[in-house]
Chains A and B, each alone.
Chain A
């Protein structure tokens, strides 16, 4: 596997261009992109935009690109707000692995970490009018696989994946198992 590393901070066109070059150098079988983002709102849009381009290039259809983009967005929002507590000295680490079977996305923060099963269920009656707490739910609903592990930084590492169109087990209609009507696999 050939790893291409692009460090991007803050969000600007020059740095995005560097990332494009880095991705074009990737090896054929498994491609890897790693970006360090500032803890700022603009990083959410940047991460979403980068992963959307990768997903489109990988052959995902419009609906799946939307779900991947939304999931990356929610992962980075989670790192920005809950993990790094919006502290500018902390970083958000985004990594994407594109294998022949799936697109795997890692979003890592430098916070204290959290236990997935402790996250309240936003569909519970008492939480329906909550103004927050739906990000994890959306990532679980929109991606094929989702987990949160303890990162080397000590923070939380969100790991989620989507099977590539045409890969074994991937639906032929371009809709993943986490479609609009899908409930997350575990009660969030």
Chain B
């Protein structure tokens, strides 16, 4: 299943609704392209909604980390919303829960960004 990414504005935050698999090939490439474009357009406070993503492989994990560092290098933040059980467990065993801020409530996630 291809990865579909749909950015939308929520105040000063960009919420990206993701659907599909983030895996080696098109999925990872699509995520990279979307985040790169958002950063170029100065949208650096990003909430990635993974509610409809139930599969991520090591390439996809790498792409998430790459997106996180790219956004942070521009002074922004990348946070995750609505993890499925498989993705939750994957981030747990790879210790990436200690890196990403993860939310299960969108308004709370949006409020957590330090936007000036």
Contacts and interface: CB of A to CB of B under 8 A. Distances in A.
Contacts of A74: 57-58
Nearest to A40: B25
A134 B86 contact: no
A66 B89 CA distance: 12
Contacts of B57: 70, 73-74, 77, 138
A122 B95 CA distance: 9
Indicate the member of A131, A137, A141 with the most B CB atoms within 10 Å: A131
A115 B68 CA distance: 30
B99 to A, nearest CB: 6
Contacts of B61: 134
B94 interface: yes
A74 B60 CA distance: 11
Contacts of A73: 23-24, 57
A183 B92 CA distance: 11
Tell me the interface secondary structure of chain B in the complex. helix
Using C-beta atoms within 8 Å of the partner chain, give the interface range for chain B: 20 to 34
B25 to A, nearest CB: 4
B36 to A, nearest CB: 14
Indicate the member of A123, A134, A181, A182 with the most B CB atoms within 10 Å: A134
A131 B89 contact: no
A77 B59 contact: yes
Using C-beta atoms within 8 Å of the partner chain, give the interface range for chain A: 20 to 34
A183 B93 CA distance: 7
Contact of B99 (A77, A128, A134, A141): A128
B94 A122 contact: yes
Given A77-B24, A123-B95, A134-B94, A129 B86 contact: no
B63 A128 contact: no
A128 B58 contact: no
B65 interface: yes
Contacts of B114: none
Interface of B: 23-25, 57-59, 61-63, 65-66, 68-69, 86, 89-90, 92-96, 98-99
29 contacts: A41-B25, A44-B24, A44-B25, A45-B25, A73-B23, A74-B57, A77-B59, A122-B94, A123-B95, A128-B96, A128-B98, A129-B65, A129-B99, A130-B65, A131-B62, A131-B63, A131-B69, A132-B58, A134-B61, A134-B94, A137-B94, A138-B57, A138-B58, A138-B90, A141-B93, A180-B93, A181-B92, A181-B93, A182-B93
